[in-house]
Amino acid sequence: MSPIPPLSSLNYPRSFPAGPFLSLTLSMDSGAQRVSAELLPYVRVYEDGRVERLKGSEFVPASLNDTQTGVSSKDVLISSESAVSARLFLPKLTCNRQKLPVLVYFHGGAFCIESAFSFLFHRYLNILVNEANVVAVSVEYRRAPEHLLPAAYEDCWAALEWVSSHSVGRGANYEPWLTDYADFDRIFLGGDSAGGNIVHNVAMRAGSQSLPHNIRVRGAFLVHPYFWGSEPIGSESMEDHTPNSLANRVWLFVCPSSAAGVDDPMINPMSPGAPRLSKLGCSRLLVCVAGKDILCYRGRLYHSAVGNSGWEGEVELFEVEGEGHVYHIFDPYTENAGLMIKRLASFLNS
């Protein structure tokens, strides 16, 4: 089956609130399209509503029996109302009745680029699913700027509800790979970068809102999660926190309605007034950071804050020095990427 196409930009708002993230460019050529907003180096938006994504890997189709891993994949529709879809991954099975852990995965890409159907994440999930021997549901959530936050959070929660609905048989948009092979006592969340941010927000919701059939999330991993704040920590510089810094611009582009800016609890879980981390709705947590990643100190702080929050679960930190942001996604065949994938596989089977 070919990948489900990305959502159209018909619902894209024609104007943004004024702010430092908004880069206006008026064309000197009357015959050229006028740019109304851009988040460089990722996205450009034109006055006619057209969205041009400047980065991101190409879409690739799902496949049966991947030649390198033996993993099979297919695309499914989760919700017809919001057009949420997913790519499912199933490892090569040695027993037809084998029940496997389930990974509900949220891809990265600054909430505005990449996809569950893109080459980078298709390749990565094939490798991780093969190593961990799990069923994976890679969620195709709605992206900014066509759909601003909290749309992605809502979509990913809906995907988790959909997975949980299969625990008692044929739920809405019934999927046999889940009913036949999923162990619903071992549901995990996972994500990288913006996807790691989504993991936190979905896990917090799971701590206060019940899932179908009282399903509980066993664990969650956050790899290089996109957390930020207005005040520097660790080796972050003041320049990293100017209005024009990338970390600030991304958040204000994808969530312009946030009155608190980068101190919104959705991106700064340690900000004053943020919901208590002791309410996280899972029993195990793995936070992964990279030494050369600007987000490294945020991940360390998050790990420490969860550990000191009174949360009753077990939180672990996995740190790799000498590597940058999501290095394991860009090249999953390096030694350090292999160590990362093996660590995640071990966590998913704990």
> Which structural domains are found in the chain, ordered by start?
72-348 (3.40.50.1820)
Dihedral angle sign, alpha carbons of residues 280, 253, 150, 90: negative
**Quick one: tokens of 124?**
């990565």
**Quick one: tokens of 169?**
């048989």
* pLDDT exceeds 90 at position 14: no
H or E element at residue 297: helix 296-307
* pLDDT exceeds 60 at position 20: no
Can you give the pLDDT at residue 173? 77
Indicate the average pLDDT of the chain: 91
**Cis peptide leading into 150, omega within 30 of 0?**
yes
Can you give the pLDDT at residue 171? 65
- Could you tell me the pLDDT band of residue 172, with boundaries at 50, 70 and 90? low
Pair 235, 3: CB distance under 8 Å = no
Question: Which residues make beta-bridge pairs with 79?
Answer: 84
* pLDDT exceeds 70 at position 210: yes
- Count Cα neighbours of 276 within 13 Å in the Cβ-side half-sphere: 9
Q: How far lies 155's CA from each of 3, 46, 81, 86, in Å?
A: 18, 26, 11, 11
Catalytic residues, by residue number, are 193, 293, 325
- The pLDDT tens digits for 252-301 are 999 999 999 999 999 999 999 999 999 999 999 999 999 999 999 999 99
